[in-house]
Amino acid sequence: MTARIGVVTFPGTLDDRDALRAARIAGAEPVSLWHRDKDLKQVDAVVLAGGFSYGDYLRAGAIARFSPVMEQVIEQAKGGMPVLGICNGFQVLTETHLLPGAMLRNNHLHFVCKDQRLGVENARTAWTADFSAGQEIRIPLKNIDGRYVADAHTLDELEAEGRVAFRYLGGNPNGSLRDIAGITNAAGNVVGLMPHPEHAVEPLIGTGGTDGLGFFTSILKKLVSAS
């Protein structure tokens, strides 16, 4: 049976087609999910793609959190379904409290768009198992509300529990505390990161490399082994 990976589209989402293509390249069956859907069409995992959902009004991800589709995403994620939030999707995950902390405007107040070096810190999650702890990867980064913040207790807890999934290397592009680029929940099924792995899955697009493909092959292997 082919694993089905759903990708949610909100008004203002930009990178849903790229995420669907990445899932297909990895060998999964990509499934489009609309923000008004009240069921998840029997998908095995969900990707919240990047963009500017609802124009980032109020706060990035704040309105998308209340879309009908998110009721099922939240419920299923709490039950163990794998969920990946990329950029705006990461912002949505913090708004739902599936992941702790918040995303603020970049400390330099400018939009950043560049190839970004990342250090893999946690290779035990559903979305990172094809990487190795300590591995360096390079994938595109593009955001203006990418500064990850949390209180000191939360940051210490993330560090102590090994829940920092990725850290920026070669300079902090947005002022994220402790150079955090991505985190995971305690169970390892929910992962959020600001850079865009879906733009680094084919040699002809993005960075010209395929470092981002590991996110999608990781979840595919996880789902196949669990079936």
DSSP code for 199: G
Which of 187, 174, 171 minimizes the C-alpha distance to 144? 174
Q: Which of 35, 95, 121, 196 is catalytic?
A: 196
Distance of CA 7 to the CA centre of its chain: 11
Active site residue 113: no
Q: What are phi and psi of 94, to 5 degrees?
A: -70, -35
Q: Which of 35, 87, 95, 199 is catalytic?
A: 87
Q: Which of 35, 95, 198, 199 is catalytic?
A: 198
Active site residue 87: yes
d(CA 10, CA 3): 23
Active site residue 97: no
**Which residues does the annotation mark as catalytic?**
87, 196, 198
